[in-house]
Structure 1
Amino acid sequence: MSVAHPRKPIAWIAGVIVSCLASVASAASIDTIARQAILVDMSTGTTLLEKNAHQRMPTSSMSKIMTMYMVFDRIKAGRLSLDDTMPVSERAWRMQGSKMFTELNAQIKVEDLIRGVIIQSGNDASVVLAEGLSGSEERFAEEMTKRAKELGLNESNFKNATGWPDDNHYSTCADLALLAQHLIKDYPEHYHYYSQTEFTYHGIKQGNRNPLLYRNMGVDGMKTGHTDTAGYGLTASAERNGRRLILVVNGLPSMQARADESARLLEWGFREFESYALFKKGEPVDQAAVWLGASNTVPLVVAEDLRVTMNRDERRNLKVSVVLDEPVPAPIEQGAQLGKIVMEAPGFSKKEVPLLAGQSVDRLGIVGRIGAAAMHLVSGGS
């Protein structure tokens, strides 16, 4: 008979790795003047900071990250190429706000339009792409919202391709952070456009509006935004030593505040937290006893690489235990869930990760089972 019980803590982990496997880390407190904010460690999905992160807000030009996701989606599907051209309608040409300065009726290469949107934040370029891909900006916005829902952006609704003010055009910091991660993961071959600092079109050179690209702090994307209602916002991505942080802030009072506050929060995230590898995919975490199996034990593994993001001040507080029913009766199929890793620490939500059978174990034949049962009786069933 099997009995459910917690195994002893994995002591070596408790001494080396820390506690931040919860979805939200209780880090050393930090405040921000941003109206809304979120800071996420992309390698583990751990939220390091959030302030009104699920509050609906105007996204202004940060919406163009979704516009670019749609464009890159079409390119990956083979329905669009960088060398294709698209016409500039009068509607696109007349767009106000930030512009690429497209010419009326011109045929513009898709790659130039991409640069115009990402680097120059061109409203005109965004509309050209929307009309070229979907026939109208309205239809394109509907497709943006549909695709966003498929990506898990459940707090977003798009009414245009630019972020132009509209009461029904909104998102949240949490959704924009998720979108940024999707774009980086899904289209790494196109992400380099976000780090380009300038682009010249129609004889007009414009610099990238992302102020952190010029601060030598590992930032390589993504998009600024501003309207009178939304204030100044920024979705930023920074990588150092293989660790990537995603920051979204909005509602800041000025361009200077946007630059300084964003830099401060990113520096804090890199300074106060670290990310560590805990277990590699397929690496044995422990062994479970097997009942009536061709093998007496079966290795326990995790399905994916397991990493933790930790606050540096909490590194001795983590308790990691293996919980399972054992002995596990044979037969056992490789990949079957046999137990779980449980991680706990003061101030952090408990985290559980499934433990799987690292290999299959056949059941003993009738003779072997009789022998095992006899041995069990002789040993007192212990």
Structure 2
Amino acid sequence: MPLLSRATRWCLACAALLAVSFLVPVALAAPSHAQSGDRRYAAFVQDAGTGEVLFAADADALRYPASLTKMMTLYLAFEALRRGKVTEGTRIRVSRHAASRPPSKLWLRAGSTITVGDAMMALVTKSANDAAAALGEHLGGSEAGFARMMTRKARALGMSRTTFRNASGLPDRKQVTTARDIATLSRRLIRDFPERYAYFSASGFDWRGQYIGNHNRLLAAYDGADGIKTGYIDASGFNLAASAVRDGRRLVAVMFGGATGAARDAHVMALLDRGFDQVAPPQGGTMMASRGGLRFVGTAQAAAIAPALRPMPRPVPRAEAPRAAARPAPHQARKARAAGRWAVQVGAYADRGPARAAAQRVAARGGAVELRRVRVRSGWLWRARVTGLSQGEARQACRAARGPCMAVAPGR
């Protein structure tokens, strides 16, 4: 998808919002009317760190989640991994029911098996309904039983208006949610499973010799985007939950009811642009580094501090003097040092061997493998990273990675 200017994105967002403002009443949009197409729109933007609401339009109106449902399926799968009930290598048997789910799907055969890791990748990228049903049956005994688990978890997370009826998001009149609830789920996935969130950044994965790309085009089209999930059924329109990080601030944006995938993507990018403008430093000052991190400094204070930060002018060498190798200016040196301090995280693994193998696949394009044992709620995991990259190299590495991958800025 081609990049759009910020002004173009916001104009598209305003036009879409203006259009639905004539169609969407202030009253709660009942799901029984969602099929008509005039009550499908809803949007919500939130600062993931502070919880501040930056934009809301029908944020508590009931909507059909479509494949955003798979975010909860993955939440419960991540919980099962953390508790040791399954591993990424656990093989799941595909039932006749799971194999019969309509596309999008992997075309799994009844009686075949798929690993938990491949099933999760299929949910994130291809949004495979057969893999979702198989995973739900394995974790819940049946898809209906798993849906009840999903709804109970939604209530526990504060998603008070959400009810799940299946693991995939396939049409069901009683499966409903809200933009606010999906934003809550997005934030909890990011906060509760930092070692697993990289799944949502995967550009694609290999499945039986075929490369399957991610449906989420914002990963490549929007600077700072690193997840989360797309969705579509006729009754919902094109949905998207998205997360992006800029200057250390993470925003979550949720939209329901896009007329097309491209229109949905442009609208969400415009909403994120507007959100980042709202959380930018106040006018009349700047952000400066301190021992405690970044802090806002007023204009007068910045003017007093700035001279001390400017490099001294270098003397001009005499014409007859031997020309020494030119040293980069201090700001250039700092930029050069920072350029090689980016990293990519390719996952967290129970065993050192798979962690190293995953990092080595990405490091084949450049960078150094870094393995670190980290403590999580369930015990210890091996965190696999590739370090020594520039920002562009890190993002390119994740786009090319065929598995979970997340670009990590210096100091994060």
Q: If the length of structure 1 is used for normalisation, what is the TM-score?
A: 0.63
Q: Distance in 1 between matches of 2:57 and 2:15?
A: 8
SS of aligned partner of 2:280: strand
Q: Are positions 1:153 and 2:191 aligned together?
A: no
Note if contact 1:101-1:202 (Cα within 8 Å) is conserved in structure 2: no
Change (3 A) 1:43 1:308: farther
Partner of 2:16: 33
Q: Distance in 2 between matches of 1:274 and 1:76?
A: 36
Partner of 2:108: 102
Partner of 1:236: 242
Alpha-carbon distance, 1:31 to partner = 3.8
Note if contact 1:195-1:220 (Cα within 8 Å) is conserved in structure 2: yes
Which residues in structure 2 correspond to 1:345-356 (within 5 Å)?
none
Partner of 1:219: 225
Alpha-carbon distance, 1:103 to partner = 3.2
Change (3 A) 1:122 1:272: same
Q: Distance in 2 between matches of 1:96 and 1:70?
A: 23
- Alignment counterpart, residue 215 of structure 2, candidates 206, 209, 223: 209
Alpha-carbon distance, 1:32 to partner = 6.2
Deviating above 6 A after TM superposition, structure 1's stretches of 4 or more consecutive aligned residues are none
Q: Distance in 1 between matches of 2:186 and 2:91?
A: 26
SS of aligned partner of 2:62: coil
Partner of 1:255: 261
Alpha-carbon distance, 1:93 to partner = 1.2
Change (3 A) 1:180 1:32: farther
Q: Are positions 1:196 and 2:179 aligned together?
A: no
Alpha-carbon distance, 1:237 to partner = 0.5
Note if contact 2:54-2:278 (Cα within 8 Å) is conserved in structure 1: no
SS of aligned partner of 1:58: coil
Count of residue correspondences: 251
Query: Which letter maps to 1:124?
Result: D
Query: Which letter maps to 1:141?
Result: A
Q: Distance in 1 between matches of 2:192 and 2:134?
A: 23
Change (3 A) 1:143 1:195: same
Alpha-carbon distance, 1:102 to partner = 2.2
Query: Which letter maps to 1:194?
Result: F
Partner of 1:289: none
Q: Distance in 2 between matches of 1:71 and 1:187?
A: 11
Q: Are positions 1:111 and 2:113 aligned together?
A: no
Partner of 2:353: none
Q: Distance in 1 between matches of 2:16 and 2:295?
A: 28
Change (3 A) 1:244 1:204: same
Partner of 1:57: 63
Alpha-carbon distance, 1:308 to partner = 12
Change (3 A) 1:236 1:308: farther
Q: Distance in 1 between matches of 2:148 and 2:15?
A: 34
Query: Which letter maps to 1:33?
Result: A
Query: Which letter maps to 1:243?
Result: R
Q: Are positions 1:180 and 2:186 aligned together?
A: yes
Which residues in structure 2 correspond to 1:289-300 (within 5 Å)?
none
Identity %: 35
Alpha-carbon distance, 1:270 to partner = 1.2
Q: Distance in 2 between matches of 1:77 and 1:32?
A: 47
Q: Distance in 2 between matches of 1:44 and 1:156?
A: 23
Q: Distance in 1 between matches of 2:200 and 2:97?
A: 26
Change (3 A) 1:220 1:143: same
Note if contact 1:222-1:235 (Cα within 8 Å) is conserved in structure 2: yes
Partner of 1:128: 134
Q: Are positions 1:85 and 2:91 aligned together?
A: yes
The CA deviation string for residues 113-141 of structure 1, in whole angstroms up to 9 with x for no partner, is 11011111010110010111111000000
Query: Which letter maps to 2:190?
Result: I
Q: Are positions 1:269 and 2:275 aligned together?
A: yes
Q: Distance in 2 between matches of 1:189 and 1:58?
A: 29
Query: Which letter maps to 2:112?
Result: A
Note if contact 1:102-1:202 (Cα within 8 Å) is conserved in structure 2: no
Asked which structure has the greater RCO (Cα within 8 Å, sep 6+), the reply is 1
Q: Distance in 1 between matches of 2:251 and 2:73?
A: 22
Change (3 A) 1:275 1:233: farther
> Which structure has the larger Rg?
1
Q: Distance in 1 between matches of 2:103 and 2:164?
A: 18
Q: Distance in 1 between matches of 2:222 and 2:262?
A: 17
Note if contact 2:78-2:196 (Cα within 8 Å) is conserved in structure 1: yes
Query: Which letter maps to 2:247?
Result: N
Note if contact 1:275-1:308 (Cα within 8 Å) is conserved in structure 2: no
- Alignment counterpart, residue 138 of structure 1, candidates 144, 160, 163: 144
Note if contact 2:222-2:269 (Cα within 8 Å) is conserved in structure 1: no
More helix by share: 2
Q: Distance in 1 between matches of 2:105 and 2:144?
A: 20
Partner of 1:47: 53
Unaligned runs of 5+ in 1: 1-29, 277-304, 310-382
Query: Which letter maps to 2:16?
Result: I
Note if contact 1:130-1:161 (Cα within 8 Å) is conserved in structure 2: yes
Q: Distance in 1 between matches of 2:93 and 2:278?
A: 49
Query: Which letter maps to 1:80?
Result: V
Note if contact 1:235-1:248 (Cα within 8 Å) is conserved in structure 2: yes
